[in-house]
């Protein structure tokens, strides 16, 4: 753009006409040249979309393990832009409101109701604070109470709900520090809580924008490789370091149910806190110095120490240095003890893993990890329990002689399950599961657990058998199941298969001793509700909740899962919605929105599997394209976009070609059904889906317009890997170049709507990604619009932002998709006399 021309025009105008006319003409010239910026207040979408956005949200459900009580938590689905505009500091990977001392993006609940199972109506909880903002819910050991925090304009308070009385009581003033995790923990007796409180000696925070620098900020490296992915919200200077330390420091207090406070431990930067199952010990992890400008706080130095329940020092289990450099690869880990946790079936035993391959996935090793146990008083070396062929994932404890361990390896998508004897490591573990974890058809399900006397979860065993709940995806559809597995022979017996015609049944939990299966049942027009069923006696269902469908206007929309074939023979699928009132017999040609998100696979078999269920409830959340069935659009949602790299080939080696092939197959499939005008198809996506959209519009002519939200478009700005790409830029420069839409901005010939949150915190999707891409497209003459949403992060939260987003998308689709003529061209602009 030649700005000197504009200057010359402006000068000539101002010499010859009145100033007001000059400014008006200058605005016209700028508008004609396409360089004007719009200043809009927040807009709202059409009535059809607005009534879906305003539908009330059903409560979240908490069930006590004994199945006697249900707690209903209510909240507004959206925040307000005023809430997002509250003071926020972004430090070391955290986003904190420094006035209230809690995460600035915390979700809050504003009402609680309680009901006994079997009662028709729930009881309103009394004693709630004015304008409640409740979070950090934590059951008491006997589950008779729930602790929670309430955030006021001045800070965070502690409250406790008595389930039987349906009443809450305030236990502290706004003195809690909720900036780090594990804010509230119950003592074993259930009569007091261990709480993070603001330290008395906290210093005043530095206003970074007003601070006078004492010198430059310097980073250096001594020759070590530190190939870290791009992180957001890192510390940037000594002032940030100071503020982080002040906000992270807490004093630990013991607070009784009558509100009496007793100091338990002096101030430190406490991160995680957990009681041993018997309640006699507390494992505390503290963040330490030096800090880093390269990695978030959870990679700062730390120390993990065991204390008695009285606060007396017992043992230091682990000291971890600053972790700025790791071996390359997703499976790289640091050396030394890691993944510390309490063993759930023992009073006070700590479990941890250690790498056997120096933490380097490139090192050949028969076993990658070894798991150890160390018992109270934690003064001896750990005892080896099991060696694992892959990276340690988790352990489910059953008994002294029986436990189940899992490991995994990302590079080949392998997962293994081991049955082992934790009391005798001379016995070889039995591998009972060895599969590709992306192969959902082979997924055996998850073991059922039960609550112990300690209040922890262990395997639910009966007659030497364990039980599994599976999602039940098959070639024929989804059929969730309950299996009984003999832990000696490893043989399984199927106890239950869900086959409710026209509905989807989610299996939530199974009480083995009571034969009580907790399920959630839904259909496209029936909101999900909870039920109890009997597996053995085949009784039920007994309905527990009665939530109604709030989205009446779309409850009868036609919905189906369609399958179709890519040009290389790969079977794909997507969920197809037809417009409200659409007559399938007439098959009038409608515009279509295709919405998708690419996923990487290492084999074609897993990539072709169908994990969509047409009986799922139709739920139009804020980022959904389903709203547009009310505006005459066909919607193909969650269209399969697999990117496959088998053997030594990486998926991204052929990313673009597979992307276009996926899109063409989807459009061809719906076109063959006779529902759409294929010249009026839009494509949309969020995050990596936005990256997909920009690539599709640059390298195909399949679409009339695109919507790309919060994406990354220049992969050289994420040079040490992105998404599922392990290789750095210097190892695979062609991949980075080929996959970057920014590098191919000159090929963009399709109207593109770019949307991004100004406060995006997602790794790699800096707001700059959209800003720079927009500038490139604008400079090359593309039809493009950039909408930056103030205060919004990677996912959008404020109702004002959501409504404006929907308005922007609706306007874009109306102009560049629906109004196209039969030749795929926009109508000529109207002329003025």
How many C-beta neighbours within 10 Å does residue 87 have? 10
User: Whole-angstrom Cα distance, residue 608 to residue 603?
Assistant: 9
What is the torsional sign of CA 702, 706, 708, 713?
positive
User: Which helix (H) or strand (E) covers residue 575, if one does?
Assistant: strand 571-577
Element (H, E) at 696: helix 688-699
Phi and psi, residue 228, nearest 5°: -95, 145
Q: What single string gives the DSSP state of each residue in 600-631?
A: EES-HHHHT-----TTS-----TT-SGGGGGG
Alpha-carbon distance of 127 to 148, in angstroms, equals: 13
Per-residue confidence (pLDDT) for residue 221, from 0 to 100:
63
Residues sharing a CB contact under 8 Å with residue 588, sequence separation 6 or more, in sequence order: 582
Give the residues across from 652 on adjacent strands: none
Q: Which two tokens stand for residue 827?
A: 């109508």
Decide: 426 and 433 in contact? Cβ < 8 Å: no
Structure token digits, residue 780:
């090359």
**pLDDT at residue 700, rounded to an integer:** 98
Location of structure tokens 């062929």: 389
Strand partners, 308: 281
Q: CB-based contacts of 212: which residues, under 8 Å, 6+ apart?
A: none
Give me the half-sphere count of Cα atoms (radius 13 Å) on the Cβ side of residue 526: 15
Whether omega before 377 lies within 30 degrees of 0, making that bond cis, reads yes
Average pLDDT per 10 consecutive residues for the chain, totaling 833 residues: 37 40 39 54 96 93 92 95 95 97 96 92 96 97 97 97 97 97 96 98 89 73 70 94 98 97 98 97 98 96 98 97 93 97 98 97 97 96 97 97 97 97 96 97 98 95 96 96 97 96 97 96 96 89 94 96 98 98 94 98 96 96 96 98 95 97 98 97 98 98 98 95 93 97 97 97 94 97 97 96 98 94 58 38
Residue 657 DSSP SS3: helix
Question: Which residue carries 């995806």 as its tokens?
Answer: 473
How far the first Cα of the chain sits from its last, in Å, is: 30
Render the burial of 280-291: b for 16+ CB within 10 Å, e for the rest: ebbbbbbbbeeb
Distance of CA 575 to the CA centre of its chain: 22
Burial class (CB in 10 A: 0-12, 13-18, 19+), 74: middle
User: What is the three-state SS of 439-467?
Assistant: CHHHCCCEECEEECCCCCEEECCECCEEE
Nearest in space to 175 (alpha carbons), one of 211, 193, 150, 192: 150
Burial 185-199 (b: 16+ CB within 10 A, else e): bbbbebebbbbbbbe
From the list 726, 683, 733, 725, the residue with the least C-alpha distance to 703 is 683
Q: What is the pLDDT of residue 822?
A: 61
pLDDT at res. 747: 97
The separation between CA 475 and the C-alpha centre of its own chain, rounded to angstroms, equals: 28
pLDDT of residue 230: 83
Taking the CA atoms of residue 203, residue 205, residue 211 and residue 212 in that order, the dihedral angle to the nearest 10 degrees is: 20
In whole angstroms, what is the distance from residue 74 CA to residue 61 CA? 9
- Cite the active site residues: 687, 760, 794
């Amino acid at each position: 753009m030649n700005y000197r021309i504009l200057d010359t025009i402006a000068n000539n105008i101002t010499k010859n006409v009145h100033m007001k006319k000059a400014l008006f003409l200058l605005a016209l010239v700028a508008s004609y040249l396409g360089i004007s910026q719009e200043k809009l207040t927040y807009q709202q979408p059409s009535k059809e979309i607005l009534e879906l956005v305003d539908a009330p949200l059903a409560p979240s459900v908490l069930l006590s393990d004994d199945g006697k009580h249900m707690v209903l938590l209510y909240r507004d689905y959206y925040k307000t832009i005023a809430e997002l505009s509250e003071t926020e500091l972004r430090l070391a990977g955290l986003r904190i409101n420094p006035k209230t001392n809690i995460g600035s993006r915390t979700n809050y609940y504003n009402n609680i109701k309680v009901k006994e199972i079997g009662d028709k109506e729930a009881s309103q909880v009394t004693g709630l604070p004015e304008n409640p903002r409740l979070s950090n819910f934590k059951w008491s050991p006997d589950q008779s109470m729930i602790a929670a925090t309430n955030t006021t304009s001045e800070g965070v308070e502690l409250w406790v709900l008595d389930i039987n009385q349906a009443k809450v009581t305030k236990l502290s003033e706004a003195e809690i520090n909720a900036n780090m995790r594990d804010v509230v923990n119950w003592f074993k007796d259930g009569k007091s809580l261990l709480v993070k409180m603001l330290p008395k000696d906290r210093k005043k925070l530095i206003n970074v924008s007003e601070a006078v620098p004492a010198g430059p900020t310097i980073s250096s490296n001594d020759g070590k490789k530190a190939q870290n992915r791009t992180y957001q919200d890192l510390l940037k200077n000594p002032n940030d370091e100071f503020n982080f330390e002040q906000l992270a420091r807490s004093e630990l207090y013991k607070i009784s149910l009558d509100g009496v406070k007793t100091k338990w431990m002096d101030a430190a930067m406490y991160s995680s806190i957990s009681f041993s199952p018997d309640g006699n010990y507390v494992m505390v992890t503290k963040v330490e110095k030096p800090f880093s400008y390269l990695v978030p706080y959870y990679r700062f130095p730390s120390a993990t120490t065991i204390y008695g329940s009285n606060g007396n020092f017992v043992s230091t289990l682990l000291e971890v240095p600053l972790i700025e450099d790791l071996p390359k690869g997703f499976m790289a880990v640091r050396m030394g003890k890691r993944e510390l946790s309490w063993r759930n079936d023992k009073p006070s035993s700590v479990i941890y893993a250690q790498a056997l391959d120096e933490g380097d996935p490139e090192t050949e090793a028969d076993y990658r990890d070894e798991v150890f146990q160390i018992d109270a008083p934690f003064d001896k070396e750990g005892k080896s329990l099991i060696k694992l062929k892959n990276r340690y994932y988790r352990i489910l404890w059953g008994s002294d002689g029986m436990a189940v361990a899992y490991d995994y390896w990302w590079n080949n998508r392998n997962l293994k399950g081991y049955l082992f004897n934790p009391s005798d490591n001379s016995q070889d573990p039995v591998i009972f599961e060895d599969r590709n974890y992306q192969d959902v058809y082979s997924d055996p399900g998850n073991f059922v657990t039960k609550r112990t006397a300690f209040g922890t979860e262990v395997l639910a065993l009966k007659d030497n058998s364990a039980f599994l709940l599976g999602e039940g995806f098959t070639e024929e559809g989804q059929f969730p199941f309950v299996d009984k597995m003999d832990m000696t022979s490893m043989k399984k017996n199927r106890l239950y298969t869900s086959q409710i015609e026209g509905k989807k049944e989610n299996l939530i939990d199974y009480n083995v001793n009571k034969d009580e299966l907790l399920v959630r049942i839904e259909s496209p027009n029936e909101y999900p509700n909870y039920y109890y069923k009997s597996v053995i006696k085949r009784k039920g269902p007994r309905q527990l909740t009665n939530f109604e469908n709030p989205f009446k206007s779309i409850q009868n929309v036609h919905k189906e899962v369609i399958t179709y074939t890519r040009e290389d023979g790969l079977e794909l699928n997507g969920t197809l919605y037809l417009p409200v009132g659409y007559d399938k017999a007439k098959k009038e040609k409608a515009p279509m929105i295709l919405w998708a998100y690419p996923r990487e696979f290492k084999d074609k078999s897993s990539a072709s599997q169908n994990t969509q269920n047409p009986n799922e409830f139709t739920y139009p959340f804020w980022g959904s394209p389903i709203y547009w069935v009310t505006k005459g659009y066909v919607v193909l949602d969650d269209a399969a976009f697999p990117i496959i790299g088998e053997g030594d080939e990486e998926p991204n080696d052929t990313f673009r070609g597979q992307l276009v092939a996926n899109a063409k197959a989807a459009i061809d499939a719906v076109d063959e059904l006779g529902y759409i005008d294929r010249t009026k198809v839009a494509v949309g996506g969020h995050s990596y889906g936005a990256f997909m959209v920009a690539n599709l519009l640059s390298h195909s002519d399949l679409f009339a317009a695109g919507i790309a939200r919060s994406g990354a478009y220049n992969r050289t700005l994420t040079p040490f890997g992105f998404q599922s790409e392990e290789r750095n830029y210097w190892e695979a420069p062609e991949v980075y170049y080929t996959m970057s839409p920014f590098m191919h901005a000159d090929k963009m010939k399709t109207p593109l709507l770019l949307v991004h949150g100004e406060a995006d915190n997602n790794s790699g999707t800096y707001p700059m990604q959209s800003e720079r891409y927009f500038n490139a497209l604008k400079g090359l003459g593309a039809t493009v619009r950039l909408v930056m949403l103030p205060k919004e992060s990677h996912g959008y939260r404020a109702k004002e932002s959501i409504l404006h987003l929907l308005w922007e998308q609706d306007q874009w689709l109306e102009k560049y998709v629906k109004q196209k003529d039969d030749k795929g061209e926009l109508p000529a602009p109207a002329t003025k006399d």
